[in-house]
Structure 1
Amino acid sequence: MTTLRMAAVAAPFGRDLEAGFALVAQLVDAARADGVRLLALPEAALGGYLANLDGDAEGPPALDADGPEIRRLSTLAGDMVVCAGFCEAAGDARYNSVVCVNGDGVLGRHRKVHQPLSEDASYAAGDRFAAFDTPVGRLGMMICYDKAFPESARALALDGAEIAVCVSAWPGSRTRPAADLADDRWTRRFDLFDRARALENQMVWLSANQSGTFGDLRFVASAKVVDPGGEVLATTGVAAGMAVAELDVREALATARRSMAHLRDRRPSAYLAPAP
């Protein structure tokens, strides 16, 4: 039996890159001391998210995917595998991206495909979901609103992802906010998507999220680790923290898929859209 100790973080990250890196270093050190080998940090961990969802003229600092900030993240990761969100510069375009690194460099990268409200005023959209191999197993990544679309996680599962890492800056409801985030309907949606995507694809799910407030947004935190049966193994609740769990990933996947194997039992020919 080979177990993997993994963790998902809920923490506040803002525009100050140096402050952000100080927090990343603190979280990485704490995770390493606890034996964590895979760590998921939130969306926009490097440079912060948008100040609101109606269009942020300033936006976060745009970073080169091969630039010094990502190399710095890689150095901090060392022998761990670390996923973190950032604003990616690509010529004149900007992408809401997540990168997966260890001390050897970049292992994988994903550009957010699905864009809520006015996010497309600040970012271009990605166009694919792809899994990739890492020292801790085959991973797939997505960002926040991506998980509201079943096809996102299914594409990763069909590409062999054993673990999905979803990084978010998921806020509480703006129209009917609850005084207690634990009672907020957007918190319930966040948690529901995490459990459903893990269960329907019978995969391990790490969900990281921003916490606290930034601009007009109040984030729901709720970082968690979910097993292939949709059971929450660890969660921060609606507070900042680190959800840590240990699991034999291969054994957990084999057990979940032994009898009712959702990927095996698919009927793709029945899913074709009807002709117009």
Structure 2
Amino acid sequence: MSGIHTPIVAAVQMNCVLGDKTENLKKALFLIEDAVQQGAKLIVLPELFNTGYRVEERDPELAEPIPGPTTQWMSRLSQKHHVYLIGCILEKSVISGLVYDTAVVVGPHGLVGFYRKVHLWDTENTRFAKGEEFPVFDLGFARLGVQICYEIGFPEGSRILALNGADIVVYPSAFGQARRYAWDLATRSRALENGVFVIASNRTGIEKGETAFGGGSRIVNPQGMVLREALSEDEALVAEIDLSLVETQRRTIPYLRDLNKSIILKSLSNNPG
């Protein structure tokens, strides 16, 4: 039986139907309810789970405000099952023509907050506007940070989140099969160097006959140990996590304590790039 300090968490791994919100939400619902049946209280969905990833020619059409239809759909499910859901969607900006790649956090009482992807991958720089903040969300039983996909390779983001109190960092992703080696290493590294649990939810399948996603969704503990890893195309991967391990690991290898922040800040000010 899981408790407030040992919650059951889930990473949803799924293929998507490109541009078909109805079918994608139907599949996501099935996988969310599977995770709920396994006791999950925190469930992470992949990047752009409601539209698919390679919809670049339809970004403005498929983008939604926050709150909007998909956020409200997530909120109803969160309230019904008393869970927290994190899902990444195309966000329609209040500035006409701008679209963000945005992760939404909802809970039993509605919208908790959102995170806009800061570090954009390759052609995403022509699709999306960049986010500028690294919020940490207090869920009561844990403090949650969010990064998206490619950002698994940017240690600065997860370090900022950990220094601001995150116990768990989640990565909704559409990470490619061609760079799976980076995913395997970076998911464990981000957990170990910050003493956090990492929940990494990735896509599967192939889009437009050329973009193959790597799967390998996983839940990693603060020692960098993979607790569970998905093996199927569509799967709700769950694990019970012991949040007391965050403090234990940070005292065992005190990276956050020993980080000389003044030297880092001085170096950045001297080398602004």
TM-score (norm 1): 0.89
Q: Alpha-carbon deviation of 1:28?
A: 1.4
AA at the equivalent of 2:258: D
Q: How does 1:1-276 map to 2 (within 5 A)?
A: 2-14=5-17, 15-51=19-55, 56-59=56-59, 61-78=62-79, 79-91=82-94, 92=96, 93-173=98-178, 186-215=179-208, 216-237=210-231, 239-249=233-243, 251-271=244-264, 272-273=266-267, 275=270
Structure 2 distance, partners of 1:268, 1:258, is 18
Contact 1:143 1:166 in 2 (8 A): yes
For residue 116 of structure 1, what is the amino acid of its counterpart?
Answer: W
- Residues 41-96 of structure 1 show CA distances to partners (whole Å, capped at 9, x for unaligned) of 10001222125xxxx32237101111132111111122011100100001321000
Deviations 1:18-39 (A, max 9, x none): 1111112111111111001111
Please state whether the residue corresponding to 2:121 is helix, strand or coil. Answer: coil
Equivalenced residues, count: 259
SS in 1 for 2:252: coil
Give secondary structure in 2 for the equivalent of 1:63.
coil
8 Å Cα contact 2:121/2:150 also seen in 1: yes
CA distance in 2, matches of 1:150, 1:258: 20
Conserved in 2, the CA contact under 8 Å of 1:57 and 1:122?
Answer: no
Structure 2 residues without counterparts, runs of 5 or longer? none
Q: CA deviation at 1:238?
A: 6.9
8 Å Cα contact 2:34/2:236 also seen in 1? no
Q: Distance in 1 between matches of 2:25 and 2:140?
A: 24
Over aligned residues, Cα RMSD in angstroms? 1.6
C-alpha distance after superposition, 1:101-129 (max 9, x if no partner): 12311112110111111112111111121
The Cα of 1:146 is off from its aligned counterpart by 1.4
Alpha-carbon distance between aligned partners in 1 of 2:31 and 2:237, rounded to the nearest angstrom: 12
Q: Following TM superposition, by how much is the alpha carbon of 1:199 offset from its aligned partner in structure 2, in angstroms?
A: 0.4
Q: Which amino acid aligns with 1:35?
A: G
Q: Once superposed, which parts of structure 1, at least 4 consecutive aligned residues long, lie more than 3 Å away? A: 237-240
Q: Secondary structure at the match of 1:244?
A: strand
| Residue aligned with 1:26, SS | helix
- 1:165-195 Cα deviation digits (max 9, x unpaired): 111111122xxxxxxxxxxxx1111111100
More strand by share: 1
Amino acid at match of 2:225: E
Unaligned runs of 5+ in 1: 174-185
Amino acid at match of 1:71: Q
Give the secondary structure class of the aligned counterpart of 2:105. Answer: strand
